[in-house]
Amino acid sequence: MLTLHFAPNSRAGRIVWLLEELGLPYKINKMDFHPKDLKSDEHRARHPLGRIPVLDDGDISLFESGAIAEYILERHRNGGLKPAVSADEYPAYLQWFHYCEGMVMPPINTIVVNTLLLPPERRDENALGQAKRLLAKALGPVNDNLAGKDYLIGDFSAADIMLGHASYMSNRLGCVSDEMTHLKAYVARIAARPAFQTAITMQ
């Protein structure tokens, strides 16, 4: 059985969501989002930087949420959430799947550090302002792409798990403006999915 090493309010949530959408059996090793767990010798043996998620599948151990998602889809996909390589939607699927970590998560990371993780005296307001502006720019094409669509490539796919999770986080941080009507509606659709609700209750 798959084992997911998990901490709340992290990218591990998107892997729980994926596993739930696919109906795959899995176990959770829930840890605190704190150095006592994440930087322990035990966890550093799983991930050299002491981060999560990490997925164990028998003798295989894998980190990086995007890599974990692709691994699950290829080896345990149970028939869904990824268009065939020959499908017209496949290039767009790849683009939005990777847009998450390439364009959206870097400014989110800076915002989280400078609003939640650092003590007030160590926060950088200039870095925070720049990150919010970068995030707004990064979300603009996502909002535009969703015009006339329920999900990123039309039907729900694993690209929505990657980028949808980041969009939900962006909205929670107050960084999805009311003018981004397509993105606001998209976040609401995601939040209503039963598999997402299961994942988010673990946060």
Q: What is the pLDDT of residue 115?
A: 94
Average pLDDT of the residues in 58-64: 97
Q: Which tens digits make up the pLDDT trace of 92-134?
A: 999 999 999 999 999 999 999 999 889 999 999 999 999 999 9
The residue to which tokens 């892997």 are assigned: 15
pLDDT digits (tens, 9 = 90+) for 122-173: 999 999 999 999 999 999 999 999 999 999 999 999 999 999 999 999 999 9
Is the model's pLDDT at 79 over the cut of 80? no
Domains of the chain: 2-81 (3.40.30.10), 90-193 (1.20.1050.10)
Query: Which pLDDT score, from 0 to 100, does residue 180 have?
Result: 98
